[in-house]
Amino acid sequence: MLLEKIKNSGFIIELDGNSFTVSPSDTLTDKQRDFMKSNKPQIMAELLLTTVYNLYGTPIQIQAKDAEHQAWLIEVNHKIGTPSPLTLEFTNE
């Protein structure tokens, strides 16, 4: 996986809207920058891979469309045995 390779090189990579940021960016070499630019679609795909849980509590991975979709998936999905915000809102009167 590309993210693993980047992280093993000592960098932190995070979603930033529909792109990503790498830190510490001042230590990136030109070769590393070129690698990330040429592999941006694959890096974004890995960053947008989101773990959610089915009704039985089994984790499954879903490819989010973008950062907003990923945030929504995380918000509305929860692991079985923990109350979701939607459940709490529905049951509290």
Q: Could you read off the pLDDT of 49-68 as tens digits, one per residue?
A: 999 988 888 899 999 999 99
| 77 and 56 together in one domain | yes
Same domain? For 71 and 92 the reply is yes
Could you count the other beta carbons within 10 Å of the beta carbon of residue 45? 14
Which neighbouring-strand residues pair with 19?
A: 16
Q: Is the pTM of this model over 0.85?
A: no
3-state class (DSSP) for residue 70: helix
**What pLDDT, on the 0 to 100 scale, is given for residue 86?**
52
14 and 39, same domain (yes or no):
yes
Q: Which domain holds residue 21?
A: 1-47
| 56 three-state secondary structure | coil
Q: What is residue 2's three-state secondary structure?
A: helix
How distant is the alpha carbon of residue 41 from its chain centre?
14
